[in-house]
Amino acid sequence: MSTQTITKRLTLTDLANKKRAAEPITMLTAYDATFARRIDAAGVDCILVGDSLGNVIQGQNTTLPVSIEHMVYHTQAVSRGVEHAFLIADMPFMSYRDRVTAANSAQQLMAVGGAEMVKLEGGQPVLEQVSFLNDQGVPVCGHLGLTPQHVHRLGGYRVQGREQRARQQIIQDAQDLQQAGALMLVLECVPDELAGEISRQLQIPVIGIGAGAQVDGQVLVLYDMLGLTVGHVPKFSMNFMTDGRDVPAALEAYAEAVRSKAFPAREHVFA
């Protein structure tokens, strides 16, 4: 393996240590065992079973039709291909609308699906759920900025946090999520400077997707970074299948680009 030699299963402690050591964390989405094995072999730190499967696997226009049953099925598949990477699963739309529903969903994703952490979207409205899950021993990752499950309320897939009021709300939500017990945070489509400020304020790892280079790590949708996406490709993504690479080489190139801070570059960043 050219990017990194991993001899054990990565843990939340390892990821927290990477933040403290300023070592960029690498993450990619996966939805099946075969790609999970390839991502794992490339030395990527974390695999996210994203509800983006609604878009890239099911052909949906949004992530909203994805159910907890879909997420458990794909998390099970991915977990069978993982030996070293830390495995996170998305909690889909309306699967954490209250504490009991959130607990049931997390139980399915972890006990049945094999996830080691669950991710949910939003700030203040989900703090009670985050705190409750934390009390039950469930590791939680927050998700702020562009939250795809709220796409209709947001008016589309737009950069968030450019206006002062929205910026302050994201900062406050990030702090509140950490206080409630979240152990990781994903920031999507926010200005680079805002993401950097949040990353410096928080003790937990902050992973960016369209959030610039000042965060603690990066995540991309697998199909985007392999150049498989048909139609619109997000500005913040990059095709790593260029220069005659095969899939394993592209995955290693992504991991190396994140660790060397060559990715994201200026053209992938929102001001």
Residues tagged active-site: 188
Tell me how many degrees the CA angle 10-15-16 measures, rounded to the nearest 5: 140
Q: Which pair of tokens denotes residue 236?
A: 């913040």
Tell me how many degrees the CA angle 270-240-92 measures, rounded to the nearest 5: 65
- CB of 70 closer than 8 Å to CB of 235: no
Backbone angles phi, psi at 216, to 5 degrees: -90, -10
In angstroms, rounded to a whole number, what is the distance separating the alpha carbons of residues 161 and 167?
4
Residues 6+ apart with CB under 8 A from 185: 141, 142, 143, 144, 174, 177, 178, 198, 202, 204, 205, 206, 207
Q: Is 157 helix (H, G, I), strand (E, B) or coil?
A: coil
- CB of 35 closer than 8 Å to CB of 81: yes
